[in-house]
Chain A
């Protein structure tokens, strides 16, 4: 059974940094295409970042230069380093696996980690 478990969320002041982790079981992060998707309170879904199996990464324009997706193959864990946080980054952050079909078809999701950016 596939499980994705996010940790690291919390309350952080504007301008601060936070690192989210997503521990995977039942799938191998290094051979999967993995993503972070966020959802602001009461709002819709927004794709944030992708890391491909080869290690290359892409980020949405809204977080480019501030957020970095990475992984630790030995820990089978995905990360999202978030710097220069803003109030508009407040959201539930989900890690998700890109399935073997169409791009944007995420077949496994974590339960989410809440990040609140506020003074």
Chain B
């Protein structure tokens, strides 16, 4: 049981916009920044967004993060087949004194 809650799956067609949600509590998302990762099959996770809505250099602007209260979202616009991957949210948890992750969302591009 993950501390942060994500839907197990999401899907969309090429060109579509999809969003993935991440729900937490006041001790994690409510008081700390949210980060998102993309994990392609058989590879290490890749930092997609950090500090709620910042993209590392090289990440396309099709990916955008947002946060409101105890929840966060990752939006992917102009969906492409290569976006098919697992997506994870992460944040610091003040009560657990550590980083917590969501359970992951498997994105399928139909």
Contacts and interface: CB of A to CB of B under 8 A. Distances in A.
Interface residues of B, number: 29
A35 interface: yes
Nearest to B44: A109
A117 to B, nearest CB: 21
Interface stretch (A9-17, A24-32, A71-79, A96-104): A96-104
Contact of B33 (A60, A103, A107): A103
The SS class assigned to the B binding surface is: strand
Contacts of A110: 44
Interface in A28-65: 35, 37, 44-47, 50, 58, 60-61
Contacts of A87: none
B45 A105 contact: no
A94 B43 CA distance: 11
A58 B97 contact: yes
A45 B36 CA distance: 12
A47 B28 CA distance: 14
A103 B54 contact: no
B92 A103 contact: yes
Interface of A: 35, 37, 44-47, 50, 58, 60-61, 94, 99, 101-107, 109-112
Interface of B: 2, 32-35, 37, 39, 44-47, 50-52, 54, 56, 88, 90-92, 96-104
12 contacts: A35-B99, A44-B88, A44-B101, A44-B104, A50-B99, A58-B98, A101-B50, A102-B35, A106-B45, A107-B50, A107-B56, A111-B44
